[in-house]
Amino acid sequence: MSTQEFAGYSITRNLAGGGLTRLYVALDAQQTRVVIRHLTADSVRIRKLRKSFFHSAEVMEKLHHPNIVRFIRLGYQDKVPYMVLEYVESRTLRDLILYRDPLLTNNVLSLIRQMANGLAYVHAQKYLHLDFKPENILVRNDGQVVIIDFDLAIRSKRWTKKIKQMPGTPSYIAPETLTKHIVDERSDIYSFGVTCYEMLTYHKPFEGDKLDQVRLAQVDPRIPPTRLKQYNPQVPAALEALVLKCLAKKPEDRYPDMALVIRDLEALI
C-alpha cells in the first residue's frame, strides 16, 4: 500500500486517527479534497470492528443534512475496508472551547442552534448518535457546524433500549445509561446539554478532584449541576434553564425530543 496513493486517491497528509482507524486528507480524480478513513491492519482482523465500521458507513450514507458530514463512498483496498467522506476545513469544538476562540464566543448561540438542528435530523431519521461531544463537532471558519463520528450510532425505538456496552465518553453519558445501560433520544439530549454547558462556561456540569466523586455526582439525583451563571453571569436565564432541562438527572424531566429544544432556542433573542 503506497503512502502516496490509496484506492485511486492521492494522499496529501495524515490526520489524527484513533487506535482502530487511520485518517488521511486526499485528492480525488477531480482534485477535490476528501477524507479517507480505513481500519488498521490489526483492526481488520476483528469481526466486531469490521461490523462497526460498515455500520457507521451505512448510517452516514442515509444522512443528508448541512450540519452532518457528507458520506461519499465505501470500498476495499487490498482487503482493507475504507470510506470516503467530505473534507471539512475546520477545527473541532473542543479546540474552540480549549482556546476560548472568538469563533465560539461570538457565535455561541448560532453554533448551539446548528448542533440542535443536526441532532434533531439524526433523531428524525430514527438514529441515536450516542457519542455527542465537542470532539465530534467540527466548526468551519464561516461558523458552520458539522457533526461527525457515527461509529456508536444505533437505530432508535419508540421505547428505551438496553445496551450491552457503555457508549461514548463518561462525562457526556446520561445518568440512566451509566446506571441501567438504557438509551433513547433523551440520552443524546443529555450529551447535547453537557456540550452546550461547556460552550457557555468552559466547565463541565460536574467537576472534582477525584473521578469517582465526579461520577457519583453525575448519577446522584440529589446533586444538581453547578448553575451556569456561577461560571458565566452573562448567560441569559432562559438559555441557562434550557441547558439545565437537558441535563435533568431523570430522563422524564428532560426535553422529550429535540424539536422542543429547537422551539425554545428559537424563542431566545
Half-sphere exposure of 121 (CA within 13 A, CB side): 17
Give the residue carrying C-alpha cell 468552559.
202
Q: CA distances (Å), 148 to each of 55, 59, 176, in order?
A: 14, 11, 24
Q: Select from 85, 93, 89 the least CA-distant residue to 111.
A: 93
150 contacts 123 by C-beta, under 8 angstroms? no
| Furthest C-alpha separation in the chain | 58
DSSP 46: -
Residues with catalytic roles: 131
77 contacts 6 by C-beta, under 8 angstroms? yes
